[in-house]
Structure 1
Amino acid sequence: MFKKLVNYCKCCYDELAHKTTWPKYAELNHSAVIVLSASLVIAAVVFAMDSLFKWVMGIVYPG
């Protein structure tokens, strides 16, 4: 059991250290900007929809 766990950890380390290609700083920064921009756009759309529905419900159910 312990030998399987040690072998698994060695394989995981080998995979991460030698076979995985990590992004460069510029690629990582570009991806972060895209994710942040998309999140802000989606938040703005949800806010607009919420405001519209609140306005409509205020007309339908006044008071």
Structure 2
Amino acid sequence: MAGIVNYISESYNELKNHVTWPPYAEAQRLTVIVLVFSVLFSLAIWGVDTVFSSAIEQYFEWVKS
């Protein structure tokens, strides 16, 4: 149990004293960029999934008849 407390204490100290945090404006800009690319990537995956789904559906319709 002491090991976990020590780990949390050292992690907090590291984050507070040794990490260089970006300015708020830069963090906001980077968050928007990540959000935009996440939405675009999810739309691309949805599109590919839809195309493959209909291709497989057409294939089974073709095999069934």
Residue of structure 2 equivalent to 1:11: 10
Structure 1 residue 25 corresponds to structure 2 residue 28: yes
Give me the TM-score of the superposition, normalised by structure 1. Answer: 0.76
The one-character-per-residue Cα deviations of 1:20-44 (angstroms, maximum 9, x if unpaired) are 6456111011111101101111111
Give me the TM-score of the superposition, normalised by structure 2. Answer: 0.74
Q: Percent identity?
A: 25
Give unpaired runs (5+ residues) of structure 1. Answer: none
Q: Could you say if the C-alpha distance between residues 20 and 51 of structure 1 is closer, same or farther in structure 2, counting changes exceeding 3 Å?
A: farther
Q: Could you say if the C-alpha distance between residues 5 and 56 of structure 1 is closer, same or farther in structure 2, counting changes exceeding 3 Å?
A: closer
Q: Give, in whole Å, the separation in 1 of the partners of 2:20 and 2:54.
A: 45
Residue of structure 2 equivalent to 1:35: 38
- Root-mean-square deviation (Å): 2.0
Give unpaired runs (5+ residues) of structure 2. Answer: none
Q: Give, in whole Å, the separation in 1 of the partners of 2:20 and 2:9.
A: 14
The number of residues matched between the two structures is 61
